[in-house]
Amino acid sequence: MNDKSNVGSRKESLIKLLDVVIKHENEIIEALYEDFKKSPFEAVLTETSYVISELKDTIKNIHSWAKPKKVWPSLLNFPSTDYIYKDPYGKVLIIAPWNYPYQLALCPLISAVAAGNQVVLKPSELTPKTSAIIAKIIGKTFQPDHVKVVEGGVEETQILLSERWDYIFFTGSVAVGKIVAKAAAENLTPVTLELGGKNPCIIDETANLKLAAKRIVWGKFINAGQTCIAPDYILIQEDMKSHFVDFLKIEITKAYGENPKESPDFPRIVNEKNWLRLVSMIEPEKVIFGGENDIEDCYIAPTLIDENSMESLIMKDEIFGPLLPILTYKEESEISAILLKYEKPLALYVFTDDKKFAKKIVTNFSFGGGCINETVMHFSNKRLPFGGVGHSGIGAYHGKLSFDTFSHQKGVIKKATWLDLPLRYAPYNNKLASIKKLLKWL
């Protein structure tokens, strides 16, 4: 039995966490700026306020989420009352990435604690300032045998993965996701894998191009494109392309000025390794806007790329940076050939005023989640599951689903003793016809 099974004490520790988190909000905002020049506005919008809201929502709902849920009994069990109990798994390992280093570490942790687990959190080593404040926040809130932070990189994570866990929640790349899945398989440990992918953004001839450009520029270049659900590439009807590119240029300039390097709102690439990876994808003759870069500052400008080859480096893997290739299609039938060349993406976006086209795209393709005439914002609705499918991930979370993710759902029936129908018991003799009739009813 887990000694954290008392829901009241879980709630108290979350209330304490909320207090500590609020007190350290400015330190987190400063750390995010020091780590990769994330602007205070983006830090509040996508990190600190998100964590605070998740905490408040969990504190408000924890009792109803944790309560055993009564479900309709099966007639075969008459008379019984049936319940789903929400059991803590036990020892949970959470491994976080660097791109939203605070939110993607704290949100799963909040739900794992709410569900009654002991937690070890491994933040990303690539955002060391944020990692240090996270360790401080957790150290001030929890006893180490309840929740603790282990800072470090690959080596430390591999040591953690060699231990036995009751649940592993991993957010990061597909390649490391496979390492985590292999380690988990050793002990048949259940996992959530929140991974990435190549997210298409499809635009047809009926779309409102001006508004599409505005929403795509925001969703692509927020966090300098280092967002798992950022549009990875544009696939636009050929005739609309040049008009759309003009709108994109206007929107980028409106958002970040003539020189985005000077903009206080445009972050940097997290480190030199990622900067080199991204710059190697830029073929100068294909750049139609931006392209400026500076290794000293890990800077890459918002860049539009005129792409016509599926074989180029930029079209191989997830980009995860401020480079936006623009591809075209002539006929609708060409879309599926391009989309199906890749593993199932984490997100998909379609911009159109044609309801039938939108429905076809959303229903015909498999992807983690997405938007019609919007980018990224499906993430913000706690009532929507957030997660991938196929190579973009296993499992989903957010809101109540996060609580359920960290709970084993234990089905229990409570059978009455005042009646015991004889039908199911041997000897079966001539009871076959009766059981057939009953089973037809169910």
d(CA 329, CA 118): 51
Q: Judge whether 201 counts as a catalytic residue.
A: no
Instruction: Please select the residue that binds ligand NAD; options are 80, 173, 206, 312, rule is CB under 6 A.
Output: 173
Phi/psi for 304 (5° steps) reads -105, 135
From the list 36-44, 82-90, 122-130, 407-415, the region that binds ligand NAD by CB under 6 A is 122-130
Q: Which of 107, 201, 228, 298 is catalytic?
A: 228
From the list 46-54, 151-159, 198-206, 233-241, the region that binds ligand NAD by CB under 6 A is 151-159
Which DSSP symbol is given to 397? B
Nearer to ligand NAD, 88 or 123 (CB): 123
- The kind and range of the H/E element at 408 are strand 407-415
- For residue 133, give Cα distances in angstroms to 28, 123, 126, 140, 257: 7, 10, 14, 11, 32
Residue 222 binds ligand NAD, judged by CB under 6 A: no
Residue 225 binds ligand NAD, judged by CB under 6 A: no
Residues 46-65 that bind ligand NAD (CB under 6 A): none
Q: Can you read off the two tokens belonging to residue 314? A: 């930029």
Q: Which of 54, 194, 251, 318 is catalytic?
A: 194
Residue 271 binds ligand NAD, judged by CB under 6 A: no
Q: Helix/strand/coil (H, E, C) string of 214-262?
A: HHHHHHHHHHHHCCCCCCCEEEEEHHHHHHHHHHHHHHHHHHHCCCHHH
d(CA 175, CA 324): 23
Instruction: Please select the residue that binds ligand NAD; options are 39, 46, 99, 118, rule is CB under 6 A.
Output: 99
User: At its nearest, how many Å lie between ligand NAD and the CB of residue 91?
Assistant: 18
d(CA 227, CA 27): 22
Instruction: Please select the residue that binds ligand NAD; options are 39, 111, 118, 124, rule is CB under 6 A.
Output: 124
Q: Judge whether 156 counts as a catalytic residue.
A: no
User: Which residue in 39, 162, 49, 141 sits closest to 103, CA to CA?
Assistant: 49
Nearer to ligand NAD, 155 or 331 (CB): 155
Instruction: Please select the residue that binds ligand NAD; options are 14, 29, 92, 96, rule is CB under 6 A.
Output: 96
User: At its nearest, how many Å lie between ligand NAD and the CB of residue 159?
Assistant: 9
Instruction: Please select the residue that binds ligand NAD; options are 15, 154, 159, 313, rule is CB under 6 A.
Output: 154
Nearer to ligand NAD, 273 or 359 (CB): 273
Q: Can you read off the two tokens belonging to residue 256? A: 């970040």
Instruction: Please select the residue that binds ligand NAD; options are 119, 176, 245, 347, rule is CB under 6 A.
Output: 176
User: Which residue in 99, 51, 43 sits closest to 398, CA to CA?
Assistant: 51
User: At its nearest, how many Å lie between ligand NAD and the CB of residue 103?
Assistant: 9
What per-residue string of b and e applies to 400-437 under the rule 16 or more CB within 10 Å gives b? bbbbbbbbeeeeeeeeeeeeeeeeeeeeeeeeeeeeee
Q: Can you read off the two tokens belonging to residue 61? A: 């709902």
Residue 181 binds ligand NAD, judged by CB under 6 A: no
Which positions are catalytic?
Answer: 194, 228
Binding residues for ligand NAD, per CB under 6 A? Answer: 95-99, 104, 122, 124-125, 153-154, 157-158, 171-173, 176, 179, 194-196, 228, 318, 320, 346, 388, 393
